[in-house]
Structure 1
Amino acid sequence: MSIRPWVVVEPPDSRGLRRVVIGGQQAGSAWSPAELRRILGRRGYPATMDLDDPASIFWRGGDSGTWPDHPWRRRAIMFLMAVGLLVSMVYNTVIGWPDASGALTFAQRMTGVLFVLSGAVLGIAAVAALDYWGRHQFRASGAVALLGVMMVLATDSLLLLLWFEEKEYTRHLLVYVPALCWSLWALLLLVRHKSWKGVPQPKRFAAGVVATALLTAVSLAYSTMYQPAAAPMHFSLKVEFGKAWKDVNLPFVHVPLTIHMKNTGGIPVYIINNIYTVRGRVALYSKSEGDLLTEWRESVERRGVGEGEGEVFVDQLRYTTISSGRFYDLGNSLDVGQEYAMRRVFQIPEDIGYDTLSAELQISYMRKDRGKLDVEQFRFPHLSWNERDRRYYCDPVVCGGQLIFRGRVRHNNNLINVTRKPRYVTSVWSPGGGIISSISSFPFNFVGSADYREERRELERYGTARARADSEISAAELLKSAGV
């Protein structure tokens, strides 16, 4: 028999795998005597070789009977490790892709990119876990698997912290809560097995992992908690009466009304409600000089604090709505620098008897850097008097006539979407000056004590606000311009 290199079988590692060294070079690893014989057979050793012959094999950390591997347990752990990392890979990609591909702000896009990249890292970690709990051919596979588990723990902990702000049930809870529990189990197991062993310069590796985790956490917290306010909203709104003209066939006067709107701020917006209203005012006049304070108090009691005015010679004001309508399609956006103008003509009788005519323009908007509105769902109105649409029906005696616009809104940071119930923008429009806009998770036909704190919070979260402009002209001046 020819002289062959001496075989050394190293002690079993934490998983029961024993490294085989032949002639000073690693020849493989074995879980059992049968695998050891296969390794030796590939090197020319006979199949009937005596494994207990000290002249041929040197055993360290046990003899030929020391094989502590538990194959079913090890394979079960390998399967659970790989599945947990792969599920987290898909979930992180699902969370990050909408922000990475469609968010308006740089911070939100970076959040999405980080989640997509973390998904790629988790995919690599899943392969590393298969190797670590398998043949362990790559020295760093245990450390890479540990890095992936720590990333899952960090991201799912962040999602759970965000969920605690509202404590609303969503189907996503069924993903990241079990994944968080899985990550704790996997982390304890990998730490117990000291999976970072074999990595060159483990201290630097650990420092890099910690630094990366801290930077990622700061970035995610910044983009999630910080509401961008550096670009305030500004609108240029105008509503003006034009020169009137007399109808040659009818005793009416045609009055033009010009409406103009321009986004002069730094953020595009969705216009979620708007209305223009023209009113005529009739008052009783008195030559006697009255008490201004008394007039103002009475005006406040009749019309409200926001509209109360005091005039000495004018009393018992009465307003009549002459014309009212929408001037911009609801749900459409108004980009930075974009403007829109519209000219309407309404008619009034020559002897209408109004003292003044006033026009008011109101818009309600939502910042596009805070959320994305489902425009196709939102732009088609529901009629409140349509009895077949039971969800939106309201007795005309109670509600009159209303148009109800409702659509899903998604936050531009998808972390918010996966930790909250769906939010909806609801806008109610009715002629005569009534517009209502709200954002909440309530169904439209919600009955009971609504949490108006949620509505206020969501309106602020999505950057919803109003802007208005008005104009007033003397009826005598208007009729004079028409030659009446």
Structure 2
Amino acid sequence: MCIGFLLTAVLLLRIGWMDSQRALTFGERLAGYSVLAAGLVELIAALATLDYWHQRKRAYSGPLLMAGVGIVFLCSSSLLFLQIGERFTGWSVIGISFLTGSILAGVELVKLRAWKGLRYPGRIAIGAIVPALLAGINLAYTQLYVPTVTAPLIMSGAEFKEASLDSARSVLHVTVHAYVRNNGSVPVYILGSIYWVHGGPANDIHQTTDPSSSFKLIYDGEFVTPAGRELDPGEEISQDAVIDIKDPDKLKLDYEILRTQTEIYAIRRDRMTLPPEYGQSRSSIEALKRDRKWSAGEPGNAIYRDESNISNSSEILNIARGRQSIRAWKLSFPNWSRIELAITPPGGRITFDPHDPHYRKQLIDRYGLSLARGSMDQTPFKMLLEKARAAEKHPAPEQSGQ
């Protein structure tokens, strides 16, 4: 029993120290301090075993043993509860072993009436449990429930700016301004970003992702680089990009208007830690296949892949869920593109099924994945072309300073 208490104390002190210093939320850091306190109780219980099983000079050695066994039971059962639906790991074996040991030890202590050292055990139990329960409910509501239900508010959009022609008048340069802004109170990581420029008839009201749409993709790209950048509440990231449209005089017959729109893929920073390696990991699909790092379950129409290991918001969740890796693919289609994401154990098999309604459920429920489709801007193609020609005929006067 003493060895079991000592092993439990070591584990609890390690987990509690890491969470009290590194957990991402106040509630989880406070939980880390609670785990530290439980580890200290386990140390005291380990010392109490020396008295209880030998001399029994201390009246409180029996109740301390029961408290220690109760903590082992609570911690091991909580660990196994958190692992429901997760992979079976070495921590699962530890949890089962400690749970079994705590039940056997608890039965033995009940037979020996180990609580006899307390004068009023019922009053003490009620006096300790009721205030702790009320404080726990209040803490869970204010520090765990409220932050969890507060969703990120990510705003994004794109708009056309100035246009110009090259010297041969064979290429129209169109500037597109794309931006993303965090209007909420939750910090996020930008896992991926896309902006599209389409051309088509003015009377087509279909979305460009609709197969029946007659709009044609002119260009697509990303405007938040590198991927994985942090976006704090109130912060904005923007970029101006110049799109080249060749043979504009011919295309004005096909493109009555130009459309541009954005899409952002963000994930909560209070649910996970994304290392800088994510933004530096991009590899083309050809390179991945050549290096035999591509699996059959990954999307076949991908262009590139970003990936890195991640850590959860607390050490307790890292233990319960095991090591996790995030992957992001950019998928290319004839008329549009999108980004797909998956979180699996490192090296785990990917089963990509975009038609499964539960495919993104884990990302949304656990990590707060947000997909923000930005506002659309459209402008007549002829108007852009005329502005470019007018700017060429009447260039802006140069300013000089004294």
Give the deviation of 1:96 after TM superposition.
3.2
Instruction: Call closer, same or farther: CA 1:415–1:225 in 2, change over 3 Å.
Output: farther
1:475 matched to 2:359: no
Give the deviation of 1:217 after TM superposition.
7.5
Q: Distance in 2 between matches of 1:481 and 1:328?
A: 30
Q: Distance in 2 between matches of 1:210 and 1:348?
A: 71
Give the deviation of 1:282 after TM superposition.
5.4
Q: Distance in 1 between matches of 2:368 and 2:338?
A: 21
Instruction: Call closer, same or farther: CA 1:162–1:279 in 2, change over 3 Å.
Output: same
Q: Distance in 2 between matches of 1:116 and 1:272?
A: 34
Q: Deviations over 1:55-77 (max 9, x none)?
A: xxxxxxxxxxxxxxxxxxxxxxx
> Does the Cα contact within 8 Å between 1:440 and 1:458 map onto a contact in 2?
no
Residue correspondence of structure 1 range 244-323 to structure 2 within 5 A = 244-281=163-200, 304=210, 317-323=214-220
SS at match of 1:172: helix
Instruction: Call closer, same or farther: CA 1:377–1:96 in 2, change over 3 Å.
Output: farther
Aligned to 1:233: 152
Aligned to 1:346: 243
SS at match of 2:225: coil
TM-score normalised by L of structure 1: 0.69
> Does the Cα contact within 8 Å between 1:111 and 1:220 map onto a contact in 2?
no
1:102 matched to 2:28: no
1:453 matched to 2:355: no
SS at match of 2:83: helix
> Does the Cα contact within 8 Å between 1:108 and 1:223 map onto a contact in 2?
no
Q: Distance in 2 between matches of 1:376 and 1:111?
A: 29
Q: Distance in 2 between matches of 1:448 and 1:428?
A: 11
Decide which moves more: 361-370 or 211-220.
Answer: 211-220
Aligned to 2:2: 82
Aligned pair partner of 1:466 in 352, 371, 382: 371
> Does the Cα contact within 8 Å between 2:223 and 2:238 map onto a contact in 1?
no
Q: Distance in 1 between matches of 2:68 and 2:312?
A: 27
SS at match of 1:111: helix
Aligned pair partner of 1:382 in 283, 286, 295: 283
> Does the Cα contact within 8 Å between 1:170 and 1:418 map onto a contact in 2?
no
Q: Deviations over 1:14-65 (max 9, x none)?
A: xxxxxxxxxxxxxxxxxxxxxxxxxxxxxxxxxxxxxxxxxxxxxxxxxxxx
Aligned to 2:397: none
Decide which moves more: 137-146 or 92-101.
Answer: 92-101
Q: Deviations over 1:67-107 (max 9, x none)?
A: xxxxxxxxxxxxxx111111111222333344322233322
Higher helix share: 2
1:434 matched to 2:355: no
Decide which moves more: 181-190 or 407-416.
Answer: 407-416
Instruction: Call closer, same or farther: CA 1:138–1:223 in 2, change over 3 Å.
Output: farther
Q: Which has the higher contact order (CA 8 A, sep 6+)?
A: 2
Aligned to 1:330: 227
1:372 matched to 2:273: yes
Aligned to 1:153: 73
Give the deviation of 1:271 after TM superposition.
0.9
Any stretches of 5+ residues in structure 2 without a counterpart? Answer: 391-402
Give the deviation of 1:449 after TM superposition.
8.2
Q: Distance in 1 between matches of 2:270 and 2:381?
A: 44
Instruction: Call closer, same or farther: CA 1:359–1:108 in 2, change over 3 Å.
Output: same
Residue correspondence of structure 1 range 143-182 to structure 2 within 5 A = 143-164=63-84, 166=85, 168-182=87-101
> Does the Cα contact within 8 Å between 1:227 and 1:461 map onto a contact in 2?
no
Give the deviation of 1:228 after TM superposition.
3.8
Aligned to 2:125: 206
Give the deviation of 1:481 after TM superposition.
1.3
Give the deviation of 1:323 after TM superposition.
4.3
> Does the Cα contact within 8 Å between 1:439 and 1:455 map onto a contact in 2?
no
Q: Deviations over 1:312-367 (max 9, x none)?
A: xxxxx241323423433212211111111111112223323322211121110111
Q: Deviations over 1:386-445 (max 9, x none)?
A: 133212278xxx946611112333332544433334443221124652211233458565
Number of positions where the alignment pairs a residue of Structure 1 with one of Structure 2: 378
Aligned to 1:64: none
Instruction: Call closer, same or farther: CA 1:393–1:476 in 2, change over 3 Å.
Output: farther
Residue correspondence of structure 1 range 209-220 to structure 2 within 5 A = 209-211=128-130, 214=133
> Does the Cα contact within 8 Å between 2:154 and 2:180 map onto a contact in 1?
yes
> Does the Cα contact within 8 Å between 2:179 and 2:223 map onto a contact in 1?
no
SS at match of 1:266: coil
Give the deviation of 1:379 after TM superposition.
4.1
Decide which structure has the larger Cα Rg and report it. 1
Decide which moves more: 415-424 or 170-179.
Answer: 415-424
Q: State the 4+ residue runs in structure 1 displaced beyond 6 angstroms.
A: 219-225, 448-452
Any stretches of 5+ residues in structure 1 without a counterpart? Answer: 1-80, 286-294, 310-316
Q: Distance in 1 between matches of 2:129 and 2:166?
A: 80
> Does the Cα contact within 8 Å between 1:383 and 1:392 map onto a contact in 2?
no
Residue 292 of structure 2 aligns with an amino acid whose one-letter code is: R
Q: Distance in 1 between matches of 2:135 and 2:184?
A: 31
Q: Distance in 2 between matches of 1:220 and 1:175?
A: 29
Instruction: Call closer, same or farther: CA 1:356–1:150 in 2, change over 3 Å.
Output: same
Q: Distance in 2 between matches of 1:213 and 1:156?
A: 20
Instruction: Call closer, same or farther: CA 1:137–1:102 in 2, change over 3 Å.
Output: same
Give the deviation of 1:133 after TM superposition.
2.1
Give the deviation of 1:212 after TM superposition.
7.0
Q: Distance in 2 between matches of 1:447 and 1:167?
A: 16
Q: Deviations over 1:110-134 (max 9, x none)?
A: 2222112211211121112223223
User: CA RMSD of the aligned region, Å?
Assistant: 3.4
